[in-house]
Structure 1
Amino acid sequence: MTVTDRFLKYVTFDTQSSETTGTTPSTPGQLVFAEALVKELKEIGLEDITLDDKSYLMATLPANTAKAIPTIGFIAHLDTSPDMSGKDVQPRIVTYKGGDIVLCAEENIVLSPLMFPELNDYKEQDIIVTNGKTLLGADDKGGVAAIISAMKYLKDHPEIEHGKIRIGFTPDEEIGAGADHFDVEKFGCEWAYTIDGGQIGELEYENFNAAGAKVLFKGLNVHPGYAKDKMLNASLLAVEFASWLPAAQRPEHTDGYDGFFHLTAMGGTVEEASLSYIIRDHVRTAFEQKKELLQELVKRMNEMHPGSTTLELRDQYYNMREVVEPKKYIIDLAFDAMTAAGVTPLVKPIRGGTDGARLSFMGLPCPNLFAGGLNFHGRYEFLPVKSLEKSMETIIKIAELLAQKS
């Protein structure tokens, strides 16, 4: 079975996670998928296979040499994004010749280089696309397929020396909970790599510092005909508050290392209203300043309307760079492995987060490597076959080069 065959098989499992259930895993399909992977890992011949009731799956490829080689790991997540349905995914492989790809003729859903110019980088390649009605699931079933295919290859090619390798698959990464119950001690690695990046060559060891904020407003509702000097409209307070945040620091105006305030939800009546934000910045001092600004604006609103506004603020994860960078050999190994696999490394910051960010602060340094997909979380997601194959090759080369360097 090729890595592409594995991927096409894996996307038939509906593993869309949910922020509303309050369970781990958040949806039963993730455990169903994990149970199917257990059978496959047994067939391949991996050892120490464990799957707990929260859908954390771990397994071992034993070392095939007596050399002292660090134990390393590769990690991917089982779930797909709640942003779009992952049920009844119908992928197809297209040899891309340029121009538009019609995903669904009846609904006029078209994958076009006019909207997605990155398509032009994959001319004359086979790419896997959706039927325009679901996401594809390359995030992160591409990573799962690459890891398992690499383990199968190493198992079948004992002439490639390697140390002990651990693999791990987590639930609920897409809702920020993938590391919640990950047992770092049980995993037993000196470091690991998440295979959860996008385009071919991505090598990431910087991510956002992240926080979530909810601003709550209390108003005073009276009959509008007799409201003069009495009514306080909570919804209007929310609108005014939102206008105070710098427009230039919205996601649609930022890129690279720029941080942002992202309004993710709002709602309200005259009596009560709320704004929900996520706060992101690569630089810790700028991240703290963003949180301080929110607190200052809440204070300002309460000075204007005493007792009207409260803030719920919590940190979510931090930039893994401060943990990973002191161990730069981890990055160098991945860089060299990509080069050996014929891939040009693209070292850049993640404008988001991965399980690896939290795992790094839990004692498992964990940079992020490409799985090959693009346009994640929507109907226009696609996966170049060559990119997926190179992801698998990179994993193999990491194991091989580490043995040679040890």
Structure 2
Amino acid sequence: MSDVLDRFLRYCAVPSQSNPLTADAVPSTASQLDMANVVAADLRALGAQDVTVTPNAYVTAHWPASAGAEGLPALGLCCHLDTAWQTYGDPVRPQVRHYDGDTLTIGRGRDGREVAISPATNPQLEHMVGWDLVTSDGTSLLGGDDKAGVAMVVSLLARLRQDPTLPHPRLAVAFVPDEEIGHGAALLDLEEFGASFGYTIDGGPLGEFCYETFNAAEAKVRASGTSVHTGTAKGIMVNASEAVMRFHAMIPAQERPEYTEGYEGFYYLERMEGNCEEARADYIIRDHDQAKVESRKDVMRRAVDLVNQTYGGGREVLTIQIEDQYHNLANVVTRPEYRHLIENARTAYAKVGQQMRCVPMRGGTDGSQLSFRGFACANLSACYYNAHGVREFVPVPELEAMVDVLQELAALYARPQAAAR
């Protein structure tokens, strides 16, 4: 078993889901601090410098430059420790399955039904016949998003320890909590981190590269009603749940995630609950164009006003609170001083025989925050498929190849001209 595969399996088995309902605390779950300590222990065992775990579950460390590259700018690498909250994530039982083609049943879900992957849903499997795949046992997500990235970065350091002659600048590495709930690297101490550019490793199939993300906002709709016996409710009752339903009906149905692709933005209802007196609905707004995000905010505010008008009497049944979460990192990465992030990634992929494919990410990464805070970073493959669900899988050959890509990338930044283009 390769070093990166061994690490990946160990990391997946450590539950570390984030939780949007406890997002006021960082980390939002105690299990993320457990994961942080596991990674930090591995870094210390390798001999990484300045290994730190904060009470907020941020892990940072440095790796010294190879001979001749000591005076070059540090290269930063960042991954997130948490896994998605939308499905089961504890316990996680990772397994390595050999793929012989057609449908692969990975196990049974918690409802007893078979969980399988096939070329019908994942056409990429057609070129993976004969490969080993890492999956869960069907009862939970795997956690390749982003534990595959974590394993890749730690395995890169293990390789540099094994062969100190491999060229690389000083490396700054960070592993952060709560990316899946929009917090991400907000509390990362960039001065201590010590890099002004680099990469997140939090993307899809091998060869994918992202320097464009959504702009993101979240909207919290709250309803306050009046409960009264249904037999005497006429003219008195105000049903908070009905008010939220009216609001939702005014949001364009064709602009939901399940009907959009590419650069098309959307509104997404994350959760809702309520009764007659109180109800709530939480939404996210996404678009690559910030002006369109602002337009979507206006649509939601007008919908709130219209619902309130229907109840008359000047009563404010609905309220809405909208906050920005992150912005399109293309606004930073495409600046001339950071174009090397794109071109060096293209070269590193090519050195392992992979053509880079630039894709607009229909989401965000830690780089979506960090790039606007002074750490410009694009996003590299973490090689996971079907993220955020029980059918998630990571092909072992791609997992291993990305460590080669990171090694080639580090070598490119061991040259003075790489960071000066």
TM-score over 0.5 for the pair: yes
* Correspondence 1:318 to 2:320: no
- Aligned counterpart in structure 1 of residue 33 of structure 2, from 23, 31, 34: 31
Task: Please say which of residues 112-121 and 70-79 is displaced more in the overlay.
Answer: 112-121
Q: 2:94 is matched with which residue: 91, 95, 109?
A: 91
User: Retained in 1: the 8 A contact 2:246–2:307?
Assistant: no
Q: Deviations over 1:59-102 (max 9, x none)?
A: 11111133442211111111212223333322222221211112
> Which residue matches 2:51?
49
Question: Separation in 2 of the partners of 1:223 and 1:87?
Answer: 42
Distance in structure 2 (CA, Å) of the matches to 1:142 and 1:249? 32
Aligned-partner Cα distance in 2 for 1:215–1:168: 35
**Contact 2:73 2:170 survives alignment (8 Å):** yes
- Sort the Cα spacing of 1:271 and 1:29 in 2 relative to 1 into closer, same or farther, 3 A: closer
Q: Following the alignment from structure 1 to structure 2, what is the Cα–Cα distance between the partners of residues 302 and 39? A: 55
Q: 2 CA distance for matches of 1:36 and 1:240?
A: 47
Alignment of 1:120-269 (within 5 A): 120-269=126-275
For residues 324-363 of structure 1, the aligned pairs below 5 Å read 324-326=333-335, 327-363=338-374
Contact 1:79 / 1:174 at 8 angstroms: preserved in 2?
A: yes
Deviation at 1:310, TM superposition (A): 1.4
1: CA distance, partners of 2:143 / 2:352: 24
Deviations 1:207-245 (A, max 9, x none): 111111122233334433333344333322222221111
Cα contact 2:75–2:413 (8 A) shared by 1: no
Q: Tell me: CA distance 1:248–1:64, structure 2 relative to 1, closer, same or farther (3 Å).
A: same
Task: Give the distance between the partners of 1:240 and 1:30, measured in 2 at CA.
Answer: 38
Equivalent residue pairs, number? 406
Residues of 2 paired with 1:46 and 1:231: CA distance?
64
Give percent identity, aligned residues only.
39
Gaps of 5+ in 2: none
Please point out which of 304, 310, 318 is paired with 1:309.
318
- The equivalent position to 2:42 in structure 1, one of 40, 43, 46, is 40
Question: Could you say what the CA RMSD is over the residues aligned between the two structures, in angstroms?
Answer: 1.9
> Helix, strand or coil: the match of 1:277?
strand
1:61 aligns with 2:70: no
Which residue identity is paired with 1:13? V
Equivalent pair of 1:73/1:165 in contact (CA under 8 Å):
yes
**Pair 1:297-2:310 in alignment:** no
Which stretch has the larger CA shift, 82-91 or 286-295? 82-91
Matched to 2:196, the amino acid is E
How far 1:405 sits from its partner (Å)?
A: 5.2
Q: Give the CA deviation at 1:149.
A: 0.9
Q: Using the alignment, how far apart are the partners of 2:328 and 2:371 within structure 1?
A: 9
Q: CA deviation at 1:33?
A: 2.6
How far apart in 2 are the matches of 1:235 and 1:87?
A: 32
TM superposition shift of 1:35? 2.1
* 1:380 alignment counterpart: 391
Partner of 1:281: 287
Please list the CA deviations of residues 114-166 of structure 1 after superposition, one character each: whole Å capped at 9, or x if unmatched.
23333224222211121111111111110111001111212322332221111
1:256 touches 1:351 (CA, 8 Å); kept in 2?
yes
Cα gap change, 1:88 to 1:294, in 2 (>3 Å): closer
Q: Give the Cα separation in 2 of the matches to 1:124 and 1:136.
A: 21
Q: Which amino acid aligns with 1:9?
A: R
Change (3 A) 1:223 1:26: closer
Per-residue CA deviations over 1:358-382 (Å, capped at 9, x if unaligned) read 1111111111111111111221110
Determine the C-alpha separation between the residues in 2 that align with 1:191 and 1:198: 21
Distance 1:11 1:272, change over 3 A: closer
Query: 2:4 — aligned with what?
Result: 3
Question: Which has the higher mean CA deviation after the structures are superposed, 88-97 or 346-355?
Answer: 88-97
In 1: Cα distance, 2:5 partner to 2:274 partner: 47
Distance 1:280 1:231, change over 3 A: same
Cα 1:238–1:39 change in 2 (3 A) is closer
Structure 2 residue identity aligned to 1:313: I
Q: 1:267 to 1:11 in 2, by over 3 A?
A: closer
* 1:263-309 Cα shifts (integer Å, max 9, x gaps): 12222333333322111111011111101111122222233333222
Residues 239 and 87 (structure 1), Cα distance of their counterparts in 2 relative to 1, 3 Å cut: closer
User: 2: CA distance between counterparts of 1:270 and 1:85?
Assistant: 30
CA contact 1:56–1:168 (8 Å) conserved in 2 = yes
Task: Say which SS state the counterpart of residue 38 (structure 1) adopts.
Answer: helix
Give SS of 1:90's match: coil
In structure 1, what is the Cα distance between the partners aligned to 2:17 and 2:222? 30
TM-score (norm: length of structure 2): 0.91
- Alignment match, 1:365: 376
**Shift, 1:6, TM fit:** 1.3
CA contact (8 A) 1:343 1:390 kept: no
Distance 1:126 1:226, change over 3 A: same
**Structure 1 alignment gaps of length 5 or more:** none
**Separation of aligned partners in 1, 2:318 and 2:95:** 51
Specify the alignment match of 1:104 in structure 2.
107
Cα distance in 1 for residues equivalent to 2:404 and 2:212:
23
User: Secondary structure of the equivalent of 1:403?
Assistant: coil
